[in-house]
Amino acid sequence: MLLIRPIKPSDYEALYQCAIESGHGFTSLPVDQSLLERRIDRAQKAFRKENVETPGDESYLFVMEDTETGTIAGVSGIEAAVGLDEAFWHYRLGKVVHHSEKLNIYNALETLTLCNDYTGVSELCTLFLREPYRHNMNGRTLSRFRMLFLAQFKQRFSDWVIAEMRGVSDDNGDSPFWTWLEDNFFSMDFPKADYLSGIGDKTFIAELMPRFPIYTNLLSDEAQAVIGKVHDNTRPALKLLESEGFRFRGFVDIFDAGPTVEAEVCNLNSVRNSKVVTVSVKEQVPEVEAAVPHIVCNTQLENFRATKLLLTEGADELILDNEQAEKMHLSDGDDVRIVAL
């Protein structure tokens, strides 16, 4: 069974390996021992925190564990509210019109303006599935279970949620968009800037980033071409989020110009289509005809568990055997939240 659960300190080595494998441009998972240990500690505190009525600085980090081998297959996270402790930067795409009626000249020019518009919203982040497990809808499960977590614990999150998608960069970690910024405003390469941002050292952004709107037609052709575009490896993740109802509204990353997509939590497909059913624990689970893969989550916080199971479409009861129930921290009569994959 592939079981999704809150991260714990003993998962550090696996998290560090995921950071290495994720490569350049994965800002929320830098190869930095101190930061990764802090992320684990923050997550532990978030899952233990009781009586949360409004979203704050809580950071929820999960791992997907192969229970047969103990191997960590991937990692996934949710930030309750971004930008509360430090500025959360984006570029907002806009337009400026230069018009002279007398000269019969009209130019509508695209601009990039530095902003903090997403301050306070929740964020889906740190989604990474290791190569051997990229099959059998595991990636879809590792991403979509977070929608059920948002639905179950909605008071802990904003009404709106975003996801920053990795922008275009090459195998060496070089970004065409950052190359233009580096040439004109900075003196550091993209991997270093991305790393500094990932470990929380963001003062250089306010100090060096251009404060006034940038006309995109002043950028190099290569930089213009990647604004709002995603890394090839990120296309499946973007497609999945779009199927949930996420949309691009013109906000891009300040380093690689990758798109940030947004959605209202109550309108997410997995939230709207999920439902709560009752657990029945039996010695043996009967075979299910016309079974459909479902994501199944318990309704606990500190002992949260999620997995993928085959269920009858429209089922109003979840039948588990004793082993499954134990792994999911469930007993006969408990509630679970489910949604079809």
Question: Looking at the annotation, which residues are catalytic?
Answer: 231
- How open is the CA angle 198-183-28, to the nearest 5 degrees? 10
Residues 6+ apart with CB under 8 A from 216: 109, 110, 111, 112, 224, 227
The answer to whether 24 and 163 have CB atoms below 8 angstroms apart is: no
Residues 6+ apart with CB under 8 A from 271: 147, 148, 150, 151, 265
CA pair distance 273, 68, nearest whole angstrom: 31
Could you tell me which residues are beta bridge partners of residue 61?
Answer: 77
- The total of other beta-carbon atoms located within 10 Å of residue 41's CB is 13
What phi and psi values does residue 320 have, to the nearest 5 degrees?
A: -125, 150
Task: Give the tokens for residue 18.
Answer: 């995921």
SS3 of residue 288 by DSSP: coil
The answer to whether 278 and 335 have CB atoms below 8 angstroms apart is: yes
CA pair distance 269, 50, nearest whole angstrom: 28
Task: Give the tokens for residue 284.
Answer: 């043996």
The answer to whether 254 and 114 have CB atoms below 8 angstroms apart is: yes
The answer to whether 48 and 302 have CB atoms below 8 angstroms apart is: yes
The answer to whether 276 and 299 have CB atoms below 8 angstroms apart is: yes
